[in-house]
A and B are shown apart, each in its own frame.
Chain A
Amino acid sequence: MIIDPVTLIVALITVSTPVLLAAIGELVVEKAGVLNLGVEGMMIMGAVCGFITAHHTGSPALAFVAGMAGAVALALVFAVLTQILMANQVASGLALTLFGLGLAALLGVGYSGLPVPAIARPFPEALRDIPGLGPIVFSHSILVYVSIALVAAVWIVLTRTRIGLVLRAVGENHDAAHALGYKVVRIRIAAIMFGGACAGLGGAFLSVVRVQNWIEGMTAGAGWIALALVVFASWKPWRVLLGAWLFGGIAALQLRLQAAEIGVPVALLDASPYLVTIIVLVLISSDRRRAALNAPAGLGRVFHASS
């Protein structure tokens, strides 16, 4: 056996973290009734801002903050367009992705291959050296644990708190929420910014922790996979985690299969994470009852308070 299951699981968790972060943010955005297709653009902005900051300051913490800030700035553009100027959300999201990819490439000119500081791991070596369990549970950087905690936090907030209830009300029926006196636009803008921060954090993790380099277009569709994961998860936080691990598992496995040279065409392996995402998406969507059950009723609708 060439592929060691322990290192595979460790790689799976690392690979899935950027997608998980972006997807959990987008889940909150969609729960508020907004479809932001700009995840890819926000992620790559997070990646480039994080990488540049990490290189210059040597501080990963600052890098993550900068990654979030860059992506939030982009998310704000989307918020202004769709919430204040009432532009089409699909087109605005696409514009965000196209612009983000261009701007990130522009900012990152000359940064490719520059060194970034190593990331500290929160758990002591004694724990990490436990055979099997150690690497899988204790060997990751802090952001991996943060991302899983974030899933839990989003789940609690959405299902157990008043804020979550208001957010979902805005997403299900903005006119009713407006009539009850909730500030639909403000709540949605806040949700969009949260989604941007998560996508930016995911992007920064990708460039600063996982790849430790800046490569133009390095997100390579991770933002779109995050969008697919939200549908896959039927808008439920824990299922996003499951979906991210499934995707991460495929992505990590195909890299190892490529290295092992087992005779499967490289193109097929390269395409496998995307193909598996499509297949899973089809399986989920074709189940008529489950697919419609949890989708926010007001997703993508433009809100205009007439009075």
Chain B
Amino acid sequence: MSLLVAQDLHKSFGKTHALEGAGLTIRAGEIVAVMGPSGSGKSTLLHCIAGILPPDSGVVRYGDRELTSMSDRERSELRRTDFGFVFQFGQLVPELTCLENVALPLRLSGMKRRAAERAARDWMAKLEVDGVADQRPGETSGGQGQRVAIARALVTEPKVVFADEPTGALDSLNGERVMHLLTSAARETGAAVVLVTHEARVAAYSDREVVVRDGKARDVEFVR
């Protein structure tokens, strides 16, 4: 079943055309790698379909709702309840402990602290970072920080996780561990993952790939 559908997206930054008619379909529970050379528009595509960036034209549908016609507030709410995000750097709040970071999305949704931290601890254990619960992000290694960020992205059990070069700052061994844990956890919860990467070994964790070239996305056959 199609969960997220983007059609004919256009997005420009000044005179630079980042997306020129890009389209994409994500089905529930699948892991899709969005690949393409630097500057091809793959991150812009991710930001548009995740409701972070409004496209200049085109439509993004999530289930039976149209993201592109929602207000900023509605989009923020949807991002908080249904989407999870993992980026390459700087996504954790440095002043909070790792546990507080992971619990944050639940706290923002109004969950009581004790319950939020209990759920956060469970996710940190799944991502094998329960040992750094009381440390601040600056005190952890790159690989640990990224796994804390994944725990935070998954703690709300989102329907879609958007991951933009999640292993970009990690060495091969840590990158592999992060990908293994991210994809296993997503499969366990049934979350779809949209994975932007330029690394083939990372893309190999996906079910299929979509290639973005010159602002256009090219769907490659469905595997599942």
Is this pair of chains taken from one and the same complex? no
Task: Give the A-binding residues of B (Cβ under 8 A).
Answer: none
